[in-house]
Amino acid sequence: MSDATATIYRAWMCVVCGFIYNEADGLPEEGIAPGTRWEDVPDTWTCPDCGVTKDDFEMVTIE
């Protein structure tokens, strides 16, 4: 797969507890399918570990 066709997924970290939402993995146990973009996660969704909203998440680089 070339870089031009590779799908780039991002990860978002809760600044309160450190929970990571990875777009590639989604959260199937919460009804969020793998590949779901952060923008498509409902605004009503809350961190499964500490309960804060999406406003308390920041994009991070995972290596």
Q: Which residues are annotated as a binding site for Fe cation?
A: 14, 17, 47, 50
Mean pLDDT of 25-37: 97
Domain for residue 47, yes or no? no
The count of domains in the chain is 1
The whole-chain average pLDDT of the chain stands at 92
Domain for residue 57, yes or no? yes
Domain for residue 62, yes or no? yes
Q: pLDDT tier at 49 (50, 70, 90 boundaries)?
A: very high
Domain for residue 23, yes or no? yes
Domain for residue 22, yes or no? yes
Amino acid 30: pLDDT: 94
- The C-alpha atoms of residue 23 and residue 15 are separated, in whole angstroms, by 17
Quote the domain boundaries for residue 29.
15-41+53-63
Amino acid 50: pLDDT: 99
Q: Which residues are annotated as a binding site?
A: 14, 17, 47, 50
Mean pLDDT of 29-58: 97
Q: What percent of the chain has pLDDT over 70?
A: 89
- The C-alpha atoms of residue 54 and residue 45 are separated, in whole angstroms, by 7
